[in-house]
């Protein structure tokens, strides 16, 4: 019998700011929201001292990456200008770079100009919830900057994506989306691509669980997979609670994501996610 993993070689390394990150051992990305309206209130950090304090806690708890965003992409979020997003984001990136020069910073933005300014300020990764769909310059900008790019699946915009959650086969549509977008990025010379199925973005909870159940099938794309389910409605809606009470459910679903091949867990609660990775790895020795 031929071993399953001999059919393809999944990319398990990431070059971020000259540092080679090995994703064969899953890593944790901590979320820092420089917004007043992100869906999980405890993640909102709107001044320099709280940003630095949160970054320090997450790094101490074992985060490999810090994902900093200044545009709320929750369903129905208020659209803000490029200028306002930039004015929120850059001081936070600069503060983290100054306080923690070894930190690997991801910027959560779908705007090419914001992404470029953040990279020039010291960020290392671009995390685009729109997969290049909301800014025609994004792919070319990523290629020129030669930084890792998180390619997420979403339909519509944060303002109208709830109405876009219509699929004949959600996995097939997301898979085809990735095939097309990855080809475009590689044609431009982008080397480090991470795919994110976009749980909660233009997807119902049921569609999210359908995606999770088949997430290991994304392995044929030979790219690292990021799972971002932390405290989302697909968890607390199922359990009849709220985002504040969804930590246990998040840990359970993160652990399932690891079994499905996730190389990065994007979370609000770093310590618990790192512990989940350690336990999962202990069960998969050899």
Active site residues: 232, 266
Torsion sign over Cα 76, 41, 208, 63: positive
Q: How many helices (H) and strands (E) does the chain have?
A: 9, 10
What is the end-to-end Cα distance of the chain in Å, rounded?
18
Q: Which two tokens stand for residue 208?
A: 């999210």
7: Cα separation from own chain's centroid: 27
Q: Looking at the chain, list the stretches that DSSP marks H as alpha helix, in order from N- to C-terminal side.
A: 48-60, 82-99, 112-120, 138-145, 170-187, 205-213, 233-239, 247-259, 270-282
Please name which of 92, 118, 116, 122 lies closest in space to residue 31, comparing C-alpha atoms: 92
Please name which of 263, 121, 268 lies closest in space to residue 192, comparing C-alpha atoms: 263
Tell me which residue has tokens 């705007």: 111
Please name which of 138, 114, 124 lies closest in space to residue 188, comparing C-alpha atoms: 138
Tell me which residue has tokens 């099938």: 217
Q: What is the DSSP letter of 4?
A: G
Per-residue b or e along 184-206, where b marks 16 or more CB atoms closer than 10 Å to that residue's CB: ebeeeebebbbbbbbbbbbbbbe
Please name which of 256, 192, 248 lies closest in space to residue 227, comparing C-alpha atoms: 256
């Amino acid at each position: 019998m031929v071993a399953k993993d001999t059919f393809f070689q999944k990319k398990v390394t990431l070059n971020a700011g000259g540092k080679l990150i090995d994703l064969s051992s899953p890593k944790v990305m901590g979320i820092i929201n420089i917004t007043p309206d992100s869906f999980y209130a405890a993640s909102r950090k709107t001044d320099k001292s709280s940003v630095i304090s949160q970054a320090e806690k997450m790094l101490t708890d074992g985060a490999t990456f810090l994902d900093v965003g200044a545009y709320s992409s929750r369903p129905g979020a208020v659209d803000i200008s490029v200028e306002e997003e930039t004015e929120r984001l850059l001081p936070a990136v600069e503060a983290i770079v100054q306080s923690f020069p070894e930190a690997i910073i991801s910027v959560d933005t779908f705007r090419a100009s914001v992404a470029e300014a953040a990279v020039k300020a010291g960020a290392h990764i671009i995390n685009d919830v729109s997969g290049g769909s909301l800014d025609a310059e994004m792919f070319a900008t990523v290629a020129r900057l030669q930084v890792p790019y998180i390619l997420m699946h979403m339909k519509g915009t944060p303002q109208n994506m709830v109405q876009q959650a219509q699929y004949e086969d959600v996995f097939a549509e997301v898979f085809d989306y990735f095939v097309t977008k990855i080809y475009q990025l590689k044609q431009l010379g982008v080397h480090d691509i991470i795919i994110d199925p976009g749980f909660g973005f233009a997807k119902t909870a049921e569609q999210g669980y359908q995606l999770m159940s088949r997430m290991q099938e994304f392995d044929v794309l030979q790219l690292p997979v990021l799972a971002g389910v932390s405290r989302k409605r697909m968890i607390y809606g199922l359990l009849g609670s709220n985002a504040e009470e969804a930590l246990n459910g998040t840990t359970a679903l993160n652990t399932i994501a690891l079994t499905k091949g996730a190389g990065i867990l994007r979370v609000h609660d770093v310590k618990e996610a790192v512990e989940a990775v350690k336990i999962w790895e202990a069960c998969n020795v050899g």
